[in-house]
Amino acid sequence: MLLPETTDQYTKVNAAFSKQSNHFDDEDFANPILQQWRQLIYQHVDSFLLKPSTILELNAGTGIDAVRFCMKGNRVHATDLSDGMIEQLRLKSKLPNLENRLTVQQASYENLSEVAGKYDFIFSNFGGLNCLDDLTKVTRELPKLLTPKGYVTWVIMPPVCFWEWSWALKGHLRKAFRRLNKKATAHLEGELFTAYYYTVQDLKKAFAPDFALIKVESLGFISPPPASFMFASKFPRITRLLNKVDATVRKQWPFNRSGDHLIVTFQLIKGN
């Protein structure tokens, strides 16, 4: 059973993402940085999907990633809390060639006991799990859902984001360093809820002892994130330079421990 404060948090999250669901795809496909980042995420995930696999997706949103993985020959069980996102997911599940590959279930990642089956891969994209105050509420359920030596890839927001620190130059000190508190108030579609930020060390602790950390990559170590695509459009030369820096260092320690998002993959080594 969810505690009252958790219920209130997820009520607000549901409301925010339900409002966003009707225009989410249009805004996503119109953002070139976001599209580039999705390709980097897919390259990361594809390096582990060496054969057609069964994937459990948490906070699947409108199903952009689920559809892509299905079109590559995988089967995806897509879950989300939001009423609006679930509606969009169910519409996509009826598309040609997806009816037998994409299944949909409305479920919070805090209620994974409601999810049946075994999966080769568990995926969560673009910070959905940053709405969670304690990652172990999810990680403790994962071994029961994975096949032996299965993988988990989460794209999650860390506490250190150098791009946001640059906002301090404009006098936005509180906004620039908000992540350092490891939680902050998020504003989306007129709704307010809490976002929590996690280091790689936090993730390793939450996944211990059943999982081993396999790979970490940074997204937006120093380059503009999707929310700053207007900067990228206005200053293309600077953006190209920053993108080159990111491409050089984003997979290397310590640069892959900070950024707008991190792509983090763990492998199940115990359990089942």
How much is the average pLDDT of 214-224?
A: 97
Confidence category of residue 216, pLDDT binned at 50, 70, 90 = very high
Backbone angles phi, psi at 97, to 5 degrees: 75, 0
Ranking 99-103, 225-229, 251-255 by mean pLDDT, the lowest is 99-103
Alpha-carbon distance of 109 to 241, in angstroms, equals: 38
Confidence category of residue 7, pLDDT binned at 50, 70, 90 = low
- Position of tokens 């879950």? 79
CB 223 within 8 A of CB 242: yes
Element (H, E) at 86: helix 83-93
Residue 4 predicted with pLDDT over 50? no
Confidence category of residue 50, pLDDT binned at 50, 70, 90 = confident
How much is the average pLDDT of 154-182?
A: 94
Residue 8 predicted with pLDDT over 70? yes
Mean pLDDT (the chain) is 94
How much is the average pLDDT of 31-37?
A: 97
CA nearest neighbour of 13 among 110, 104, 128:
128
| pTM score | 0.95
Confidence category of residue 270, pLDDT binned at 50, 70, 90 = confident
Confidence category of residue 272, pLDDT binned at 50, 70, 90 = low
Alpha-carbon distance of 49 to 70, in angstroms, equals: 12
Residue 43 predicted with pLDDT over 70? yes
Strand pairing partners for 190? none
Ranking 113-122, 157-166, 262-271 by mean pLDDT, the lowest is 262-271
When mean pLDDT is compared over 97-106, 176-185, 197-206, the highest value belongs to 197-206
Element (H, E) at 106: strand 102-106
- Position of tokens 């105050």? 133
Q: What long-range pairs does 73-78 form, CB within 8 A, spacing at least 24?
A: 74/49, 74/101, 74/121, 75/101, 75/102, 75/103, 76/101, 76/102, 76/103, 77/103, 77/104, 77/105, 77/115, 77/117, 77/119, 78/102, 78/103, 78/104, 78/105
* Distance from chain centroid for Cα 96: 26
CB 264 within 8 A of CB 203: yes
pLDDT at 10: 83
pLDDT at 271: 63
Residue 184 predicted with pLDDT over 60? yes
pLDDT at 180: 95
Residue 115 predicted with pLDDT over 60? yes
Instruction: Please name each of the domains of the chain with its CATH number.
Output: 4-268 (3.40.50.150)
